[in-house]
Structure 1
Amino acid sequence: MFNAQNKQLHSYLPTSFRHKLLKFCYFMIPLFMFSCDDSKSEKTTEDQQAVEQTEAPAATQTSSKTILCFGDSITAGYGLDDSADAFPALLQQKIDSLDLNYTVINSGVSGETTAGGKSRIDWVIKQNVDLFLLELGANDGLRGVALSETRSNLQAIIDVVKEKSPETTIILAGMELPPNMGQDYTTEFRELYADLAEKNNVEFIPFILKDVGGIASLNQSDGIHPNVEGHKILADTVWETLGPLVMR
């Protein structure tokens, strides 16, 4: 809760701090609601109106649009010493430097498959999301999952977002596989992303690991996950598509 004095202080807070505060509130608001005692119900109508008048401007000031990065270990920043080096955090830095009112949420899970993403999307999309970056499928490909299943799961995720949050702009991040998976499989795998993007009329990043995948100096020792320098390039690749959307 903010009183009039706190509102004045809030207006001078840095953008990056306001974003952290917003994320903190996502977790604290439910806890606060359950911990309140019955005394709240005893407030008079006049008191309630005074509280509402005080809170309304604060809520407006702290409101921020949301970019949700929904993916696997690439989004999660697997293997990095600091999550601030992962591309979602780097996107937040770019946004803050431009003083844009967006908060980037990292919803990456290491080892996530498209089936796993499909199982958790209903819960994740309950929050308000303005831009939804879908980065999944690499683990399917590396495990040799049937391409029809990968395609079906990605389509199901897109369908849920469109149904439950029709105003959300979806960005589909394409992925490519190493050649040892077989030419036919790798070719069809790459093409299924372009097909889904066209079919669903969503924003599209053809290859999220462009200029990073397969380059030893930009990846960790496993040769799969980008290192700190790799994530910087990855963030630039995503920004090519994301930037124009947030700066409209």
Structure 2
Amino acid sequence: MKSLSSGVRKPAYGSGAAARKAVAVLLALLLTAAAAAAQVQERITIAALGDSLTQGYGLPPEDGFVPQLQAWLNANGHPEVEVINAGVSGDTTAGGLSRIGWTLSDEVDAVIVALGGNDVLRGLDPAASRANLDGILSAIGERGVPALVAGMQAPGNYGPDYKREFDAMFPELAEAHGAILYPFFLQGLTGEDGGSLAQVRELMQGDGIHPNAQGVAQIVRDIGPYVARLVDRAQS
């Protein structure tokens, strides 16, 4: 007499374990893909809009402001950030205003505005420079991305009125547009103790206007925490 169970096929030994293993592998792959997608979504692109100080005039490419800032961000907990060099040697605030539209591509999540040095070297009317910077910050605001304004300072040879008007436009415009203010692009050259003129000269190229690689490194160390704040705003 045949057993009642003789016609029922039993599952092969270990098939349940194999199925569980396949599900675990699938879940692991899905989690890995989700993590990779999240990393892509969180990537932040910063455009550094500026002049020769941003562009890296007179320096090997790796020693310029943008590559050194990129390295600083990577070393200080922001590997997801990419900094784009939007610096043009000799550019003024008017030049920056003329190209802010195409600088603000879809991939840009934040902007560093570091213009004004050539305006003051040429003795341009601070009112015109202010209007240009206002236009740049307005365009950035319309795109809904955060900005950092790196200020400049006029020398005293243009007179106290010129210097007062020129120097004041950076903090005033930053406040008006809700931007982060870095008071003076070159302030990192003097260090915490103010630095002597001889010390500053050691950080400059032969033209006395542009920092050398060591000077850029000091600038980046000083402005870096401000840029990190900009990254936080872009991610929020």
- What is the TM-score with the length of structure 1 in the denominator? 0.71
- Quick check: 1:230 aligned with 2:215? yes
Other-structure match for 2:206: 221
Q: 1:56 Cα shift?
A: 9.9
Other-structure match for 1:116: 95
Other-structure match for 1:242: 227
Amino acid at match of 1:159: S
User: Structure 1 CA distance, aligned partners of 2:226 and 2:153?
Assistant: 18
Other-structure match for 2:105: 126
- Quick check: 1:193 aligned with 2:170? yes
Per mean C-alpha deviation after superposition, the further-off stretch among 225-234 and 182-191 is 182-191
Other-structure match for 1:183: 160
Amino acid at match of 1:243: A
Amino acid at match of 2:111: F
Counting matched residue pairs gives 191
CA contact 1:208–1:237 (8 Å) conserved in 2? no
Amino acid at match of 1:170: A
Q: 1:223 Cα shift?
A: 1.0
Amino acid at match of 1:106: N
Q: 1:58 Cα shift?
A: 7.2
C-alpha RMSD over aligned residues: 2.2
Distance 1:157 1:96, change over 3 A: same
User: Structure 1 CA distance, aligned partners of 2:149 and 2:52?
Assistant: 16
Larger Rg: 2
Other-structure match for 1:94: 72
User: Structure 1 CA distance, aligned partners of 2:141 and 2:78?
Assistant: 29
Amino acid at match of 2:226: T
SS in 2 for 1:79: coil
SS in 1 for 2:189: coil
Counterparts of residues 1-248 of structure 1 (less than 5 Å) = 62-63=40-41, 64-80=43-59, 82-97=60-75, 98=77, 100-163=79-142, 165-166=143-144, 168-212=145-189, 215-246=200-231
CA-to-partner distance for each residue in 1:173-227, whole Å, 9 max, x for gaps?
A: 1001232233321222111111111111210001110042762111111111111
User: Structure 2 CA distance, aligned partners of 1:236 and 1:99?
Assistant: 14
User: Structure 2 CA distance, aligned partners of 1:161 and 1:204?
Assistant: 15
SS in 1 for 2:47: strand
Q: 1:236 Cα shift?
A: 1.4
CA contact 2:93–2:119 (8 Å) conserved in 1? yes
Stretches of structure 2 lacking an aligned partner (at least 5 in a row): 1-32, 191-196
Higher relative contact order (Cα pairs below 8 Å, separated by 6+ residues): 2
- What is the TM-score with the length of structure 2 in the denominator? 0.74
User: Structure 2 CA distance, aligned partners of 1:211 and 1:58?
Assistant: 37
Q: 1:88 Cα shift?
A: 1.5
